[in-house]
Amino acid sequence: MRRFRSAAPLFAPLFAPLLLAPLLLAVAGAAWSQVPATDGTLVSVSAQAEATRVPDIATVSAGVVTQAADANAAMQANAKQMDGVMRAIRDAGIAERDVQTSGITLNPQYRYAENQPPAITGYQASNTVSIKVRDIGKLGRVLDALVASGANQVYGPAFEIDKPEAAYDEARRAALAKAQARANMYAEALGMRVRRIVSIDEGGGFQPPMPMPMMAMGRAEKGVAYDTAVSPGESTLTAHLNVVFELGR
């Protein structure tokens, strides 16, 4: 009896590309659909603009450093002196939410001698808090009160803008206007016109406020007390935009 083999395996490879073709076209179509269709010219423009404001918040760090022969004594002395600093902070009207401990350390102190291992001579304890002052007009008095209450380390101030979004929006609008003006210049040079904005990207991010602070200790003459002089200056906020325009005839 003669046996016949099925012809399906012979023709299956021939039909496979035809069956896969619609799937490949569908995948390709999905990828290409992400590219905006245009018969014009795309031009990418980067623009930067700034807005300035007078800072209305200042942050300072204040702390206490104490030394003693043993670790416990150093920490106890530090806690006692720091308690006075915290009372001065509260008396200055600083809210609890604006006071944050930023560091507590305890380190041994060494004596070094030639050909001998280091010897511990005592311990140094420190406690530092970060304070946000929302009334810059009182900043000088706050600094003086901190030192008078026992703070022997003071850093700052760093000036900030409490609600910077309005200033950032001002910088964004100015940056967008610069980008549009530059796109119009390119279009005019090419004998074309700006049809539309394809995309806007805040690619450059925003620079934080960069204050130019100046702080100087007041002079005490003949028993007259002076508040520490503080000048907040101005803070600059920057917006950087990348804008893609479509140009056409």
Q: Out of 3.40.50.720, 1.10.1060.10, 3.30.110.170, 3.40.50.300, which CATH number does the structure's domain 41-54+164-248 have?
A: 3.30.110.170
Statement: residue 27 has pLDDT above 50: no
Q: Which tokens is 92 given?
A: 């200055």
140-195 pLDDT, tens per residue? 999 999 999 999 999 999 999 999 999 999 999 999 999 999 999 999 999 999 99
How far is 199 from 39, CA to CA, in rounded Å? 17
Give kind and range of the element (H or E) at residue 61: strand 57-68
Average pLDDT of 10-31?
39
Spatial separation of the C-alpha atoms in residues 122 and 73, rounded to whole Å: 10
Q: What is this structure's pTM?
A: 0.65
**Which numeric CATH code is attached to 57-160?**
3.30.70.2970
Distance CA 35, CA 44 (A): 15
Domain regions of the chain by residue span:
41-54+164-248, 57-160
Local confidence band at 42 (pLDDT 50, 70, 90 cut-offs): very high
Report residue 119 as tokens: 């010897």
**CA dihedral for 91, 92, 98, 103, sign (positive or negative):** negative
At residue 226 the predicted structure's pLDDT band, cuts being 50, 70 and 90, is low
The reply to whether domains 41-54+164-248 and 57-160 share a CATH topology is no
Report the first-to-last Cα separation within the chain, whole angstroms: 78
Residues 6+ apart with CB under 8 A from 215: 156, 157, 228, 229, 230, 231
